[in-house]
Structure 1
Amino acid sequence: MPLSDHEQRVLEQMEQALYAEDPRLASQLQRSASTGAAAGLDRRRLALGVLVALAGLALVVVGVMSSMIWVGALGFLAMVMGGAWAASPARSGSGRSGSARQGTLGVVGKDGTVRKPSSGARKGSRSGGFMQRMEQQWDRRREQGP
Structure 2
Amino acid sequence: MALSEHEQRLLDQLEQQLHADDPKFAHSMASSTSRSMSTRRIVIGSLVTIAGVAVLLLGIWNQFIPVGVAGFLVMGAGVYYATSKTRLDGAAPNSGKGAKASSSAGGGFLSSLEEKWDERKRDQT
Structure 1 residues 88-97 or 21-30, which shifts more? 21-30
Question: For the structure 1 residues 82 and 21, does the alpha-carbon distance in structure 2 shift closer, same or farther, using more than 3 Å as the test?
Answer: farther
Question: For the structure 1 residues 31 and 74, does the alpha-carbon distance in structure 2 shift closer, same or farther, using more than 3 Å as the test?
Answer: same
For 2:52 and 2:124, the matched residues in 1 are separated by 57
Deviations 1:64-83 (A, max 9, x none): 11121111111111111211
Q: Which has the higher helix share?
A: 2
Aligned pair 1:66/2:62, yes or no?
A: yes
The equivalent position to 1:50 in structure 2, one of 38, 46, 61, is: 46
Matched AA of 2:84: S
Q: Report the equivalent of 2:82.
A: 86
Structure 1 residues 8-17 or 88-97, which shifts more? 88-97
Q: What is the aligned-residue identity percentage?
A: 35
For 2:68 and 2:93, the matched residues in 1 are separated by 37
Mind listing any 5+ residue stretches in structure 2 that lack a counterpart? none
Q: Report the equivalent of 1:13.
A: 13
Query: SS of 1:6's equivalent?
Result: helix
Larger relative contact order (Cα-Cα within 8 Å, sequence gap ≥ 6): 2
TM-score by length of 2: 0.71
The equivalent position to 1:97 in structure 2, one of 94, 98, 102, is: 94
Question: For the structure 1 residues 63 and 9, does the alpha-carbon distance in structure 2 shift closer, same or farther, using more than 3 Å as the test?
Answer: same
Q: CA deviation at 1:85?
A: 2.1
Q: CA deviation at 1:21?
A: 3.5
The aligned length equals: 113
Question: For the structure 1 residues 52 and 24, does the alpha-carbon distance in structure 2 shift closer, same or farther, using more than 3 Å as the test?
Answer: farther
TM-score by length of 1: 0.63
Question: For the structure 1 residues 7 and 145, does the alpha-carbon distance in structure 2 shift closer, same or farther, using more than 3 Å as the test?
Answer: closer
